[in-house]
């Protein structure tokens, strides 16, 4: 940077300290939010991957069943062990058991001590003092430090494992020193686990290590072809990819929201730099006359943008790091999506991401300075020396015509982008459509300002109002600059309010349909105890109807999250009685053909349609199923399918309900709850009324959007800063005009009122355009982004009353922001300004 | 120093010419005054010579070797101004956010003089215009006469071959105007530059080497 550029930047920072600091802070805030979200998500993902590697080791392949109810036959494991390419096979049996009231169901992993040593060294137990190999072989259980810490269990003490209504008492023979804080698991000998929990001739997984000189990908491909349909041979890294995919859309959405804060800050830089250009137009004209080239006049403004953006980005990185550390310490690694719960992940910034966010912050600031820089380059020197800054006046027919054509072109591209398919399974075109809609709003501002207020200025109004109207109508570019931040922030806030309202109403209606019973009994992870089921079937049970549901999973694609498999007591002739169906129902060609109803997400991800015959890996084999219809599901983002209990049992499946929907006898609702509590308490089951489930679901929903409210608040604040900064500068720029008005008889109160009225008029324009853009963006979020990112479809609902209240509050805040500028107007040394001819 | 041949300028949206076929030559060390009624086109003529406005026809040759500023693009015109032209304005146009010394240094920074020579040259100019010790002062603390002295120093610091002055005494009281004019004439002649001074003041014009009047039919 040469000396003159540096002098001009220092002078600019010195003379416009507040505006420059606000712009820098806005950039810092945008970078901080984006960087913090990135750091938290990366830390949570890395944490998950580490936890997975601790338990799974680093095998070359994992053989597992596609169906969560399925298993890997020992015969297949033995065949693989005989393969000369295979160096080691470690069979694993995994189930869930309850060990203490204070803990949820924990993983019980049965391993072979010798093969696990070679593949999963971190699962190796540390025997208690005096324990021997005999303890291992006779059912000694080894417990992770977290289980010990979160319960009253102690090494050497007895432990009772409970699954359903069966209990096994054994002893804690040692611990698992390599497990981290968040791991809740027990390890025992595989033969002991198999004997007590089954299956007798199969295992849950086989983890395989190949000979060093083999080609793992080639071996996996070749071996997979020889496996039965219900089995899957996957890479160890697939699990990390699955979790990454699981939260990918949510993470991208949060990052886009953070970028919105950054985008709003770009408009603050835009406002700051444009007013800086206007304020210094004569100075730049003098420099131009002295010999500063047009290119260097342009570069100077871009450099000033960089001088705001770079330190702002550095500050943002520090703030973002601090925010990420504080957030994870206080709330863990989950940002509201519910994908990463549990421990406190370690925040580890990477150089690439840090540089990328720093670059993004600086680039945003430079982008905000591009148009002001262009105007500075284009200023006719002689004219600027004579009358100062002169933007192209709006109102000239040719110019308006060009703007209308540009607006039409932008509108067409927004429509086209909102109809484009997802890219890389992300709604990137939808996000681009949102950016174009914001551009349309900003570009339309001068035109609307001129048209709306020119007409108003000719009305017989008192002098103050007339002057304010005239000023806004004749300086539409300043109005555009002042309103741009407000347009962007209000549009985005309104759109989020619209999207969240639409979603909340849709979820509310959906809960009505999916929760038909008054009471629900749930057992997460383990089947309901037969003792409870049999008591419910007795004549004295206070229920008229009981319907069971069993939840499992299916792996359709190893790199995608599992698909939910729901087995329900459902009438296959009338599925609409229990499922919120969308679209047409298809009738199976043959009554004996099993029918499944797929969720919208499954339909969209895998391209499956009603009426289609589907082959799925179910119950250890390929099963042909008929797709009977599509239903709406807001709880399983990656798809689910429902099959009736009768069909499932006809296919050979064993129906073990996890959830029960219960209808109490009329008038016996309270006693039914007491009856249930008495029968379920000792099994650690959860009994909830429909109201409790609904409240909990909506509370989770609200929590998942809590982060977005913080981002919206940040955007609104930045928008209001923009208005305040631009109005204050506008007062300064027009000091001679104010002084003349003062000389003509305007007292200081009238000047103050005129400035505040200008602020209010600009805010009204910003809010009107922001609201229009907000509704359009809300529609894109609801109908494009949500379905493409999360496969959630819902009708658009615009909460007008909330939006209007928001607009009125923003207008009041804008008036407050204008007070600073108004006060500045009343403090102008009018006589001195008139005398100096400034 | 300056040769203008057949210069014609029309209004942007009209066929009527502001001036037509103007001819002018200003030699080294010569100060030419240009007078005329308001709105006749004196400032436009000056702006065309400086390359701030473009002429519709004719030639404006400046510097050594001579370059026709009419034919140059915007960047080349800026470069020619940085090298060959110094400008003095009626409203001084001293940048308020830079110190006096920094204001005077701007043309040097845009030119080719080694940075090490800048402080001495600035000090020399400040001494010549009677403002020694003012380098670190801010423009807001200076009087109108002092500001115009700073403007003269800034116009001459890079040793241009041509000085263009647009009403250089228009904002000054008669006594200060006289002092400033003496300084300008003295400095221009000392540097052997040519100067064209647009003025409404017959007194100022009379102190120049030659006076031309701009009228509807050209320069007389």
User: What is the DSSP track for A97-143?
Assistant: EB--TTS--EEEEEE-HHHHHHH-GGG--EEPTT--HHHHHTT-EEE
**C-alpha to C-alpha distance for A499 and A491, rounded to whole angstroms:** 12
Say which of B75, B82, B154 has its CB closest to residue A295. B75
- If pLDDT is split at 50, 70 and 90, which confidence band does A394 have? very low
Which residues in chain B have Cβ-Cβ distances shorter than 8 Å to A385? Answer: 52, 89, 93
Taking an 8 Å cut-off on Cβ atoms, the answer to whether A290 and B79 are in contact is no
For A11, the closest chain B residue by CA position comes to B97
The ipTM value here is: 0.90
- If pLDDT is split at 50, 70 and 90, which confidence band does A669 have? confident
Taking an 8 Å cut-off on Cβ atoms, the answer to whether B89 and A14 are in contact is no
Which residues in chain A have Cβ-Cβ distances shorter than 8 Å to B95? Answer: 11, 283, 286-287
Q: B116 versus A344: which is more confidently predicted?
A: B116
Q: What is the CATH number of the domain that holds B98?
A: 3.40.50.300
- If pLDDT is split at 50, 70 and 90, which confidence band does A51 have? low
pLDDT score for A130: 72
pLDDT score for A122: 76
Which residues in chain B have Cβ-Cβ distances shorter than 8 Å to A289? Answer: 50, 52, 81, 87
Number of alpha helices (DSSP H) and beta strands (DSSP E) in chain A: 28, 22
3-state DSSP assignment of residue A580 = coil
Around Cβ B35, how many Cβ atoms within 10 Å?
A: 20
B21-46, pLDDT tens digit by residue? 899 999 988 999 999 988 888 888 99
Q: Is the model's pLDDT at A22 over the cut of 70?
A: yes
**What is the rounded end-to-end Cα distance, in angstroms, of chain A?**
32
Q: B109 in contact with A at a CB cutoff of 8 Å?
A: yes
Q: In sequence order, what are the beta bridge partners of A676?
A: none
DSSP string, B13-45: T-SSEEEEEEEEEE-TT-EEEEEE-TTSSHHHH
Disruptive mutation site among A287, A289, A297, A736 for chain B (greatest number of B CBs within 10 Å) = A289
**C-alpha to C-alpha distance for A422 and B29, rounded to whole angstroms:** 73
**C-alpha to C-alpha distance for B94 and A139, rounded to whole angstroms:** 91
- If pLDDT is split at 50, 70 and 90, which confidence band does A229 have? confident
Q: Is the model's pLDDT at A336 over the cut of 60?
A: no
Q: A509 in contact with B at a CB cutoff of 8 Å?
A: no
Around Cβ A70, how many Cβ atoms within 10 Å?
A: 25
- If pLDDT is split at 50, 70 and 90, which confidence band does B174 have? confident
The range of the structural domain enclosing residue B114 comes to 2-219
Disruptive mutation site among A2, A15, A286 for chain B (greatest number of B CBs within 10 Å) = A286
pLDDT score for B30: 92
Taking an 8 Å cut-off on Cβ atoms, the answer to whether B109 and A288 are in contact is no
Q: In sequence order, what are the beta bridge partners of A175?
A: A126, A143
Taking an 8 Å cut-off on Cβ atoms, the answer to whether B110 and A282 are in contact is no
**C-alpha to C-alpha distance for A704 and A309, rounded to whole angstroms:** 31
Can you tell me the mean pLDDT for A55-60?
69
Assign residue A764 a region (left: φ > 0; alpha: ψ between -120 and 50; beta: otherwise): alpha
Lowest mean pLDDT among A191-195, A401-405, A645-649, A684-688: A684-688
Q: A760 versus A115: which is more confidently predicted?
A: A760
pLDDT score for A524: 60
Around Cβ B31, how many Cβ atoms within 10 Å?
A: 22
CA of A380 vs chain B CAs: smallest distance (Å)? 8
Can you tell me the mean pLDDT for A261-278?
80
pLDDT score for A838: 43
Which residues in chain B have Cβ-Cβ distances shorter than 8 Å to A8? Answer: 97
- Residue A287: phi and psi, rounded to 5, are -60, -40
Taking an 8 Å cut-off on Cβ atoms, the answer to whether A291 and B107 are in contact is yes
pLDDT score for B107: 92
Can you tell me the mean pLDDT for A549-559?
83
- If pLDDT is split at 50, 70 and 90, which confidence band does B11 have? confident
pLDDT score for A1: 52
Taking an 8 Å cut-off on Cβ atoms, the answer to whether A288 and B78 are in contact is yes
- If pLDDT is split at 50, 70 and 90, which confidence band does A332 have? low
Residues in A 7-36 with any Cβ partner in B closer than 8 A: 7-8, 11-12, 14-15
B65 preceded by cis ω (within 30°)? yes
- If pLDDT is split at 50, 70 and 90, which confidence band does B135 have? very high
Boundaries of every domain in chain A = 1-42+256-390, 58-235, 406-516+698-838, 524-684
Can you tell me the mean pLDDT for A35-40?
85
Q: Is the model's pLDDT at A357 over the cut of 80?
A: yes
Give the position of tokens 């509310």.
A508
Disruptive mutation site among B69, B78, B87, B102 for chain A (greatest number of A CBs within 10 Å) = B78
pLDDT score for A57: 63
**C-alpha to C-alpha distance for B128 and B190, rounded to whole angstroms:** 11
Give ∠ CA A502-A506-A509 in degrees, rounded to 5. Answer: 145
CA of B98 vs chain A CAs: smallest distance (Å)? 7
CA of A479 vs chain B CAs: smallest distance (Å)? 27
Q: B25 in contact with A at a CB cutoff of 8 Å?
A: no
Q: A106 versus B81: which is more confidently predicted?
A: B81
Let me know: does B161 contact B195? Beta carbons within 8 Å.
Answer: no
Q: In sequence order, what are the beta bridge partners of A519?
A: A662, A689
Which residues in chain B have Cβ-Cβ distances shorter than 8 Å to A14? Answer: 97
CA of A386 vs chain B CAs: smallest distance (Å)? 10
Give ∠ CA A544-A546-A552 in degrees, rounded to 5. Answer: 170
3-state DSSP assignment of residue A166 = strand
- If pLDDT is split at 50, 70 and 90, which confidence band does B121 have? very high
**C-alpha to C-alpha distance for B90 and A780, rounded to whole angstroms:** 57
The tally of domains found in chain B comes to 1
Around Cβ B171, how many Cβ atoms within 10 Å?
A: 17
**C-alpha to C-alpha distance for B118 and A20, rounded to whole angstroms:** 31
3-state DSSP assignment of residue A597 = strand
A705-722, pLDDT tens digit by residue? 776 777 777 777 777 777
A787-822, pLDDT tens digit by residue? 888 888 889 999 999 999 989 988 888 888 888 778
- If pLDDT is split at 50, 70 and 90, which confidence band does A559 have? confident
pLDDT score for A244: 61
pLDDT score for A835: 61
**C-alpha to C-alpha distance for A229 and A618, rounded to whole angstroms:** 9
- With pLDDT > 70 as the criterion, what percentage of chain A qualifies? 90
């Amino acid at each position: 940077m040469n000396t003159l550029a540096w002098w001009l930047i220092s002078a600019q920072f010195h003379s416009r300290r507040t505006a420059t600091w606000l712009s820098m802070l806005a950039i810092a805030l945008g970078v901080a939010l984006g960087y913090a979200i990135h750091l938290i998500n990366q830390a949570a993902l890395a944490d998950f991957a580490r936890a997975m590697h601790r338990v799974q080791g680093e095998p070359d392949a994992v053989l597992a069943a596609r169906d969560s109810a399925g298993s890997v036959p020992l015969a297949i494991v033995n065949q693989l062990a005989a393969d000369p390419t295979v160096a080691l096979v470690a069979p694993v049996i995994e189930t869930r058991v309850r060990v203490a009231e204070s803990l949820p169901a924990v993983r019980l992993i049965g391993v072979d001590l010798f093969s696990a040593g070679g593949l999963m060294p971190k699962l190796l137990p540390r025997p208690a003092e005096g324990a021997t190999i005999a303890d291992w072989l006779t059912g000694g259980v080894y417990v992770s430090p977290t289980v010990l810490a979160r319960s009253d269990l102690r090494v050497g003490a007895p432990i009772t494992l409970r699954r359903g209504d069966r209990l096994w008492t054994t002893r804690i023979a040692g611990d698992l020193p390599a497990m981290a804080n968040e791991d809740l698991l027990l390890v025992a000998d595989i033969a002991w686990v198999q004997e007590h929990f089954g299956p007798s001739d199969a295992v849950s997984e086989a983890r395989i290590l190949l000979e060093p000189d083999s080609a793992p990908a080639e071996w996996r491909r070749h071996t997979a072809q020889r496996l039965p349909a219900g089995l899957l041979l996957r890479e160890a890294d697939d699990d990390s990819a699955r979790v990454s995919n699981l939260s990918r859309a949510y993470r991208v959405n949060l990052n886009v929201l953070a970028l919105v804060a950054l985008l709003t800050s770009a408009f603050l830089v835009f406002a700051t730099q444009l007013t800086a250009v206007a304020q210094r137009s004569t100075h730049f004209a003098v420099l131009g006359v002295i010999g500063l080239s047009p290119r260097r006049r342009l570069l100077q403004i871009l450099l000033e943008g960089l001088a705001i953006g770079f330190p702002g980005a550095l500050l943002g990185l520090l703030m973002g790091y601090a925010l990420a550390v504080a957030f994870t310490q206080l709330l863990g690694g989950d940002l509201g999506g519910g994908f990463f719960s549990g421990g406190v992940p370690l925040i580890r910034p990477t150089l690439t991401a840090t540089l990328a966010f720093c670059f993004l912050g600086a680039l945003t600031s430079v982008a905000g300075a591009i148009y002001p820089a262009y105007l500075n380059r284009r200023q006719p020197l002689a004219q600027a020396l004579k009358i100062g800054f002169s933007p192209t006046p709006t109102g000239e027919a040719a110019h308006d015509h060009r703007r209308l054509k540009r607006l039409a072109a932008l509108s067409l591209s927004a429509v086209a982008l909102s109809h484009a398919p997802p890219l890389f399974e992300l709604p990137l075109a939808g996000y681009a459509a949102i950016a174009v809609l914001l551009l349309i709003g900003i570009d339309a501002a001068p035109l609307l300002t001129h048209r709306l207020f020119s007409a108003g200025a000719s009305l017989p109004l008192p002098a103050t109002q007339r002057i304010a109207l005239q000023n806004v109508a004749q300086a539409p570019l300043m109005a555009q600059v002042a309103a741009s931040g407000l347009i962007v922030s209000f549009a985005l806030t309104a759109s989020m309010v619209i999207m969240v309202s639409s979603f909340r109403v849709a979820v509310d209606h959906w809960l009505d349909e999916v929760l038909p019973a008054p009471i629900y009994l749930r057992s997460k992870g383990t089947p309901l105890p037969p003792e409870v089921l049999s008591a419910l079937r007795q004549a004295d049970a206070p229920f008229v109807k009981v319907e069971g549901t069993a939840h499992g999973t299916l792996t359709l694609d190893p790199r995608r999250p599992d698909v939910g498999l729901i087995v329900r007591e459902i009438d296959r002739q009338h599925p609409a009685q229990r499922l919120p169906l969308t679209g047409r129902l298809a009738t199976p060609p043959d009554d004996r053909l099993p029918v499944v109803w797929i969720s919208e997400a499954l339909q969209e991800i895998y391209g499956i349609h009603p009426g289609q015959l589907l082959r799925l890996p179910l119950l250890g084999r390929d099963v042909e199923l008929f797709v009977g219809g599509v239903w709406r599901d807001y709880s399983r983002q990656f798809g689910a399918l429902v099959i009736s209990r009768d069909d499932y049992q006809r296919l050979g499946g064993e129906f073990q309900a996890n959830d029960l929907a219960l209808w109490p006898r009329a008038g016996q609702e309270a006693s039914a709850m007491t009856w249930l509590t008495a029968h379920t308490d000792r099994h650690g089951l959860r009994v909830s009324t429909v109201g409790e489930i609904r409240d909990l679901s909506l509370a989770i929903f609200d929590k998942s959007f809590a982060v977005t409210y913080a981002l919206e608040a940040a955007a609104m604040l930045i928008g209001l800063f923009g208005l305040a900064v631009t109005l204050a500068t506008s007062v300064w720029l027009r000091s001679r005009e104010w002084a003349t008005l003062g000389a003509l008889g305007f007292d200081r109160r009238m000047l103050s009122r005129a400035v505040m009225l200008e602020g209010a008029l600009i805010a009204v324009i910003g809010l009107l355009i922001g609201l229009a853009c907000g509704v359009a963006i809300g529609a894109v979020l609801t109908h494009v982004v949500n379905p493409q990112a999360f496969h959630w479809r819902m009708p658009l609902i615009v909460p007008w009353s909330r939006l209007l209240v928001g607009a009125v509050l923003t207008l009041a805040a804008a008036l407050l922001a204008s007070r600073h500028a108004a006060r500045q107007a009343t403090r102008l040394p009018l006589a001195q300004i008139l005398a100096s001819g400034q | 120093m300056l040769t203008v041949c057949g210069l014609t300028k029309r209004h942007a949206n009209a066929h009527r010419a502001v001036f037509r076929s103007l001819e002018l030559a200003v030699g080294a060390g010569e100060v030419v005054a240009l007078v005329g009624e308001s709105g006749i086109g004196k400032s436009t003529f000056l702006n065309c010579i400086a390359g701030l406005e473009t002429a519709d026809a004719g030639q404006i040759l400046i510097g050594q070797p001579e370059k026709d500023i009419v034919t140059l693009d915007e960047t080349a015109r800026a470069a020619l101004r940085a090298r060959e032209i110094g400008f003095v304005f009626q409203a001084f146009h001293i940048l308020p956010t830079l110190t006096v010394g920094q204001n005077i240094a701007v043309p040097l920074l845009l030119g080719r003089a080694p940075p090490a020579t800048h402080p001495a040259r600035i000090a020399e100019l400040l001494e010549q215009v009677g403002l020694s010790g003012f380098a670190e002062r801010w423009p807001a603390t200076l009087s109108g006469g002092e500001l115009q002295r700073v403007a003269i120093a800034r116009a001459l610091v890079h040793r241009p071959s041509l000085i263009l002055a647009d009403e250089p005494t228009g904002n000054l009281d008669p006594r200060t105007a006289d002092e400033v004019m003496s300084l300008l004439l003295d400095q221009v002649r000392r540097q052997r530059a040519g100067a064209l001074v647009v003025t409404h003041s017959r007194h100022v014009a009379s102190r120049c080497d030659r006076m031309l009047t701009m009228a509807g039919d050209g320069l007389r």
